[in-house]
Structure formats: C-alpha cells, structure tokens
Amino acid sequence: MNRPRPKTLALLTIPLAGALALSGCFSAAAEQAGSTGRISVAHMQPPRSGLSPLSDDAFKLSRWSTAETLVNLDASGDAQPALATSWERSGELAWDFEIREGVSFHNGQPLTADTVANSLQRAIDATPVPRILNGTALKVAVRGEHRLRIATEDPDPLLPQRLSSPQLAIFAAEAYTANGVDPAGHGTGPFQIVDVDGISGATLDRYEGYWGEKAAASGIDVKFVPDGTARAAALRTSEADVIEAIPAGQAATVDQELLTEVPMPRTNTLYLNTEKGPFADPAVRAAAREAIDRTAIVESVYENRADIAEGLLGPALPYAARLRDSGEYRQLLAQRAEPAKVKDVEITLGTFTDRAELPEVAVILEQQLEAAGFIVKQDVREYQYIEADALDGAFDAFILSRATVLDSGDPVAYFASDFTCEGGFAIAQLCDKDVDQAIARASETEAGEQRQQQIMLAEARILGTDAAIALLHERVIQGEGPAVRDAAQDPRERELITAQTRLDSDQEPQR
C-alpha cells in the first residue's frame, strides 16, 4: 500500500547535541548561586528552535516553570485546573473554559480570554503545527473577558488533556513576532526568562507578580551539556544542583544517594521501513524481530537500569501490562508473519549520538542481526543531521528513543503520529488500514477503562505488522545535589524546577 507523504514533519524531543565541554559551563551560575538560593541545572539537550514554544523546546520552558497551559495533568493523566479554572462540554463538538482571573504575564499585561485565544490560534496556524494538533481541527471563540469556547471538527473526548501540552502554553500577545515566538518576559509562570545565551544556557529570575505560590528559589541558572560524562561530573563535583538524564553507563560513578530512577513513558524502539527495501516483506521484518535479544541490551548497555519491553507502552502506564493478557490482544499478535530465513540480506541501520546509549544499542543490534543472516551497515550522526533522512525513509531500520505520552498524557497521539498513513513522524513508513482503524477507535473512545482497552488493541495491531520492534522502556536517572529539595521527578518530562524547588541553606555547595 503506497503511503502518502506527510504534509508536515513532527518535531521530536530528541534534538541536536553538541560536544559542549564541562569546563566553564557553570562558572557564571556558580557566581550567582550559594547564599542567593539560585538553582543551577544541567540539561541534556540544547534548544533546537530558539526556545520557540511551538516546537519541542516548549518542554524546556515547562520544566523551568516559566510557561503555563490552560490545563495540567495529575499523576493519573486526569485534567486539572491551571490557567483555566474550570471547563464543561457544550454539546459533542464544543467545550467552554473559564479563564483564571488575576493573572499577569511577565511583561505586566493581564491574562484574558483574548490573549488565550491569540496563543491558541497561533498554534493552530503554525507550520509545522504542534504535534498535539496533528489531525485535529480547532476553532477558538471568545465568549467574554474570561470565557472561551473551543470547538472541534469531530468529537474529542480528550480536549482538556490535549490543552495540557507545553506546546499550547499561553503567552502575551507581544511574544508573537514576524520572526517567531519569543517566550522571554512573556510567560505566566513563577520564573521569568531574563537572558538566553544561544545553545549554551539561560537565566531565569523569580517572578514576584506570580498569581500562585511564589517561587522558593530566587532564580534558575541553566546550562546545556549534551555530553553525558560531563553531566555526571557536574553532579560529582557539585557544579550543578539538578542534572537531567545521567547516562546509565555513568550512574555507577556517582553517589547513589544523589540519583533517582523514574520509569519513563519512553520506549527505545527499532523502526523498520515497511515501504521499501528488505523490510517491505513482513516475513523479513519478523526475522529481525526474532533475532533480537532485549535482555542482552538492557544488561550490557543500560546496566539493568531499564525495563525489557513487552510492547510499545511500558510501566509508566500501569494498565498496559494488565490489558496485554486479554484474549483479543493475544489473538492479534498471533497473526504476525512467520519469520523468513535470511542470508546475506543487506540493511542500513541508523541512529543518533544525542542519547549516549543508542550508538551502543546499535552495535549490539548489528551483532544480533548479523547472527541471523543480515549484513548491517550503520549510519550514526547527531540528531539534527539525521532526522530528515529518517523521516524520508532513507534507512531500512532506525533506532529511536521515543516519548509515548508526551503531549496529552495519552498514547493515541503518538500512535497516530508514528503509525498511521497520514502520520507526521512515520519513520516506519507504515500505511495499514487495520492499524488506522484501530487507532481511530481508540481516539474516539471516552477517557477511562474502555479507552485503555482500545489503546492496547491498537498497540497489538501495530506490533502485529512488525513495523516497530520495542526494545526497552527507559528510566530517567535524575541527579540532585544534597542541598536540593522538592525538584520534580516527572515521568512525562514536563516539570523539573517548580515553585517549591529550593536549596537547603545548610547543605548548599561551596562553589
């Protein structure tokens, strides 16, 4: 089945890396830290789109508590008030939202339904459209100074959850310029951006006019440190207070009391090109599936700091394992193709260097696939230089670390983006009517147990094609210095430094 080319390319949360050296990374932050109560943060990835909130850079803004959305999600994925205090459904196709009063942007302008409508409309009109809006048509209408109506083209039972995506954060009208969106000084969170230094770092100060609980810390000093060894060193030497994503291979070099492991809704997956090349044959895809030893990857590369994948969705979604026991799920998997016997089948295997473990995973997969009769040629680059080729189907196989519930707290958007005929991030180039129908059914089902069941049946349909072979579910290893209190440990990677995060003055490092 010929797969149409996507009109837009979805942005991924695994952007560019540069070999930024640790030396000097935190010198400026160190001068400001200590008794001032400023928190220094070492991030894994630099901004890819100039901190535009309409890109995946939005998640950095969210993790710094400088940008806010209408809705937040609790641990169960249920919608909770944020810049909207309440909402109700008005018929099948419309929702009415009450906008919080008494909120000001960092430039002093008040939050109103007009400013909310402006932000949402900018996202709707963006090219490419934010991933959470792929395939979703919204119309926004102001119904009063603090009342907004959002209409959908089709019934959307998850609209409130959808509006929790950091890519739909609300900014002052002045943030939107002819050159893009500037979040500095235009958000509503407890911290405001006061300086951005390209892909090196950023500085945020406490916003004294915040509508909610004032930030305990006086500011945040951010540095982007793509090198995992350097990030681990920053924790060991107290050069940073909070360190994002310590690589599994570096975890043993750090005081274990300073590490927290959080199961992530992030799956390390081998995508197979179903449109052309050897893997256009389902039997050859099945041969690749049978060749893979997941346990060897988890033990050697991740040092057992990851969970072996039974499917695309992992332990961060507790219902996934339970619902895989259903008879219908098992029946769908039983329909997979029988593995072909392969000999000297040449394939290209791509991945990227931004996540330190992936090149190591590629080496092990090469060995396993060659033992099964494949001849593997690797292509490993920085993500910024390989994404376009991956989306164009230039590889027979591609290893990806993929967030599965990044946007709405629900995996249907991920399924649609990666595995439908019109998906914007379809590395596997899959176009299968049964898969499309299963994902559509899940999308149309109301939140709750029935939706979860449909989600798992859609997973079974996808796995049944062998277009994607789930390898493992990652755990984020977050480093926190001994002085850090109440940093967020968020599986969805939306929160990190919150209004409650602070340094214990008795434990602050001397820098």
Shared-domain flag, residues 400 and 295: yes
Residue 221 counted as domain residue: no
* Tokens, residue 139: 């119309």
Residue 335 counted as domain residue: yes
Residue 145 counted as domain residue: yes
Residues of the chain with pLDDT under 70: 1-36, 406, 507-511
Give me the CATH number covering residue 147: 3.90.76.10
Provide the 10 A C-beta neighbour count for residue 251: 18
Instruction: Tell me the C-alpha to C-alpha distance, in Å, between residue 433 and each of 2, 3, 496.
Output: 11, 11, 40
Identity at 386, one-letter amino acid code: I
Whole-angstrom distance, CA of residue 419 vs CA of residue 423: 6
Closest among 433, 397, 442, 394 to 415, alpha carbons compared: 442
* Tokens, residue 226: 């793509």
pLDDT given for residue 508 in this prediction: 64
Q: Provide CB contacts within 8 A for 198, sequence distance 6+.
A: none
pLDDT given for residue 2 in this prediction: 44
What's 36's DSSP letter? Answer: G
pLDDT given for residue 509 in this prediction: 64
* Residue range(s) defining the domain that contains residue 125: 67-178
* Tokens, residue 433: 């009517």
Residue 115 counted as domain residue: yes
Residue 496 near residue 244 (C-beta atoms within 8 A): yes
Determine if the pTM surpasses 0.75: no
Residue 485 counted as domain residue: no
Residue 491 counted as domain residue: no
Whole-angstrom distance, CA of residue 120 vs CA of residue 111: 13
Whole-angstrom distance, CA of residue 429 vs CA of residue 274: 6
Indicate the residue among 159, 178, 197 that finishes a domain: 178
Give me the CATH number covering residue 345: 3.10.105.10
Whole-angstrom distance, CA of residue 484 vs CA of residue 220: 13
Shared-domain flag, residues 439 and 293: yes
Indicate the residue among 146, 178, 210 that finishes a domain: 178
Dump pLDDT digits (tens) for 345-383: 999 999 999 888 999 999 999 999 999 999 999 999 999
Instruction: Tell me the C-alpha to C-alpha distance, in Å, between residue 300 and each of 248, 295, 297, 338.
Output: 10, 8, 5, 29
Number of domain units in the chain: 2
Residue 256 counted as domain residue: no
Residue 18 counted as domain residue: no
Shared-domain flag, residues 267 and 121: no
Shared-domain flag, residues 275 and 386: yes
